[in-house]
Chains A and B, each alone.
Chain A
Amino acid sequence: MQAFLDAFTAALRLVASGDQDLIRIILLSLKVSLSAVCIAALIGIPLGGLIALSRFPGRQALIVMFNALMGLPPVVVGLMVYVVLSRSGPFGVLNLLFTPTAMIIAQVILVLPIIVSLTRQTLHSLWLEYRETLQSVAATPAQCLAAVLWDGRFMLITAILVGLGRAIAEVGAVMIVGGNIDNVTRVMTTAIALEASKGDLALALGLGFILLMISMALNILAHGLTAFGEPERRS
Chain B
Amino acid sequence: MKTFPTSNPPVASLELGILPLELTGVGLVRDGKRVLKDLNCRIEGGASGQNADEPAKTFIIGPNGAGKTLFLKLCHGLIQPDEGEVRWYGPAANDGAMIKRRQAMVFQRPVLLRRTAWENIDFVLKIRGVTRAERADRCAELLQQTGLGRHASTQAQALSFGEQQRLALARALAPDPEILFLDEPTASLDPASAHLVEDLIDQAVTSGKKIVMSSHDLGQAKRLADEIIFIHRGRIKERAAAPAFFNGPKNDLARDFLEGKLLWWRRRSVYEEGEEQCC
Binding site for B on A (CB under 8 A): 129-130, 132-133, 135-140, 143, 147, 151-152, 229-235
Instruction: Tell me the bound Cα distance from A139 to B105 in angstroms.
Output: 14
26 contacts between A and B (CB under 8 A): A129-B111, A132-B111, A133-B107, A133-B113, A136-B76, A136-B78, A136-B105, A137-B104, A137-B123, A137-B124, A137-B127, A137-B171, A137-B175, A138-B101, A138-B127, A140-B127, A151-B115, A229-B114, A230-B114, A231-B155, A231-B157, A231-B158, A232-B158, A233-B158, A233-B159, A233-B160
Residues of A within 8 A of B107 (CB): 132-133
Cβ A235 vs Cβ B160 within 8 A: yes
Whether A233 pairs with B157 at a CB distance below 8 angstroms is yes
Number of interface residues of B (CB under 8 A): 27
Residues of B within 8 A of A152 (CB): 114
Which residues of chain A are near B105, meaning CB under 8 Å?
A: 136
CB-defined contacts of A133 to chain B, threshold 8 Å: 107, 111-113
Given contacts A143-B127, A231-B158, A234-B158, contact A136 B113 (CB under 8 A): no
User: Is B261 interfacial (CB-CB < 8 Å)?
Assistant: no
CB distance from A59 to the nearest CB of B (A): 22
Check: B34 CB closer than 8 A to any chain A CB.
Answer: no
Number of A-B contacts (CB under 8 A): 53
Q: How far is the CB of B173 from chain A (nearest CB, A)?
A: 12
Q: Is the CB of A138 within 8 A of B111?
A: no
Query: Which of A132, A136, A233, A234 has the largest number of chain B CB atoms within 10 A?
Result: A136
Q: How far is the CB of A216 from chain B (nearest CB, A)?
A: 27
Question: How far is it, in angstroms, between the C-alpha of A136 and the C-alpha of B107 when the chains are bound?
Answer: 10
The answer to whether B100 has its CB under 8 Å from any CB of chain A is: yes
A-B pairs with the 8 shortest C-beta distances?
A138-B100, A231-B158, A151-B114, A133-B111, A231-B155, A234-B160, A136-B105, A137-B124
Docked pose: A25 CA to B162 CA in angstroms: 56
Which of B113, B160, B163 is A151 in contact with, Cβ under 8 Å?
B113
Q: Mark B104-141, 1 if CB is under 8 A from A, else 0.
A: 11010001111100000001100110000000000000
- Which residues on B sit within 8 Å (CB–CB) of A229? 114
